[in-house]
Amino acid sequence: MSQATFKGILIEKNDDQYTASVQSIDESKLPAGDVSIDVAYSTLNFKDGLAITGKGPVVRSFPMVPGIDLVGTVTQSDSDKFQAGDQVLLNGFGVGEKHWGGLAEKARLNSDWLIKLPAGLSAKQAMAIGTAGYTAMLSVIALERHGITPNKGDVLVTGANGGVGSFAITLLAKLGYRVIASTGRPEEADYLTALGAAEIIDRNTLSEPGRPMVKERWAAAIDSVGSHTLTNVCAGLKYGGVVTACGLAQGMDFPASVAPFILRGITLAGIDSVMRPLADREEAWARLAEILTDDDFTSIGTEISLDEAVAAAHDLMAGKVRGRVLVNMNK
């Protein structure tokens, strides 16, 4: 391959034809930005799955390189924040939706979107965490700021087998919380227990329309599912409980009642990972580097090559993927 090209997934739309394939891309096609990066790893998130398969209106302009996460080495910088040789990571900011993303060997980005790779994390570990683990950490920090401590009671994690759920369980368990994991795949019970879940429940108990309030069951929750699941999570929160909303795997709707908010004083905290201020990003990544150890990465991540990523995205949308999927640009 010549130096003027690089390999990446390119999503194209011509009339009604929507395609995503690995292609050789001319470097002159890279978008504007003040930092150029050799990408080491990217990941497959739910949003990337929507983009690659076309099952959701994620991509805002065409052609598009997907990938909302990346970690790599700066090769050229017009910003005084970074210099050639720095290892940097990115999550969100519309990358992979409006601006070419991380599922390619090279990227050109706005320096305001980047942070330096935290000390104590390798490039591979950072992408094993990715937006999923970063979002889970933001959720845990939100619970802490709302006064949820381990002695307050159980914390429920929905979508437990997904990337956010897997890291939420791990982080909460390491911080001393008793975790209840909700999953639609009971055969994965051993995996969830190994992550730190103390109890596992069937997601069907939460995914159907329910009553405005039920018996108080958990002090807090991290929900990546939305819709009826989030409604039922709220209905079962203890007095003063908190739930973070950080995903919509079941749907964007929220068919809820104000009853638990008024009668139990619960809090619904929205978690945005895309446009999060720099200080919040740095705090979350510093906490991740502090809490997680090498052993925590052995069961959460599966590593694939860029050539395997399109097929893996279809598996992800079909519910066949457990935990995180790392895409190694050098594999």
3-state secondary structure 134-155: HHHHHHHHHHHHCCCCHHHCCE
Q: pLDDT (tens digit, 9 = 90+) per residue, 277-305?
A: 999 999 999 999 999 998 888 766 689 99
Q: Are residues 145 and 247 in the same domain?
A: yes
Q: Are residues 184 and 150 in the same domain?
A: yes
Q: Distance from first CA to last CA of the chain, Å, rounded?
A: 15
Tell me, yes or no, whether 293 lies in a domain: no
Distance CA 226, CA 224 (A): 6
Q: Are residues 71 and 188 in the same domain?
A: no
9 DSSP 8-state letter: E
> Which CATH number is 18's domain given?
3.90.180.10
Q: Which amino acid is at 214?
A: V
> Which CATH number is 142's domain given?
3.40.50.720
Tell me, yes or no, whether 137 lies in a domain: yes
What pLDDT, on the 0 to 100 scale, is given for residue 84? 98
| In contact, 117 and 88? CB cutoff 8 Å | yes
Residues of the chain with pLDDT under 50: 1-2
Q: Are residues 200 and 100 in the same domain?
A: no
What are 328's two structure tokens?
A: 């190694």
Q: Are residues 150 and 192 in the same domain?
A: yes
Distance CA 133, CA 131 (A): 6
324 backbone φψ class: left, alpha, beta (φ>0; ψ -120 to 50): beta
What pLDDT, on the 0 to 100 scale, is given for residue 141? 98
Residue after which a domain boundary falls, among 270, 290, 316: 270
What pLDDT, on the 0 to 100 scale, is given for residue 300? 66
Task: Report the share of the chain in percent with pLDDT over 90.
Answer: 88
What pLDDT, on the 0 to 100 scale, is given for residue 2? 46
Tokens 């409980």 map to which residue?
241
CB neighbours (10 Å) of residue 146?
15
Looking at the 3D structure of the chain, how many domains does it have?
Answer: 2
| Strand partners for 69 | 91
Distance CA 163, CA 152 (A): 25
Task: Give the structural domain span for 104.
Answer: 5-117+300-328
What pLDDT, on the 0 to 100 scale, is given for residue 3? 61
What pLDDT, on the 0 to 100 scale, is given for residue 295? 87
Tell me, yes or no, whether 148 lies in a domain: yes
Q: Are residues 108 and 202 in the same domain?
A: no
What pLDDT, on the 0 to 100 scale, is given for residue 240? 98
Tell me, yes or no, whether 295 lies in a domain: no
Tell me, yes or no, whether 277 lies in a domain: no
Q: Are residues 315 and 223 in the same domain?
A: no
Task: Please give the distance of CA 156 from its chain centroid, rounded to a whole number.
Answer: 18
Q: Are residues 146 and 72 in the same domain?
A: no
Tell me, yes or no, whether 127 lies in a domain: no
Tell me, yes or no, whether 244 lies in a domain: yes
| In contact, 194 and 214? CB cutoff 8 Å | no
What pLDDT, on the 0 to 100 scale, is given for residue 124? 94
Residue after which a domain boundary falls, among 225, 255, 270: 270
Residues near 84 by beta carbon (within 8 Å), at least 6 away in sequence: 74, 75, 76, 77
Q: Are residues 26 and 112 in the same domain?
A: yes
Q: Are residues 203 and 159 in the same domain?
A: yes
Q: Are residues 165 and 194 in the same domain?
A: yes
Tell me, yes or no, whether 98 lies in a domain: yes
Q: Are residues 141 and 228 in the same domain?
A: yes
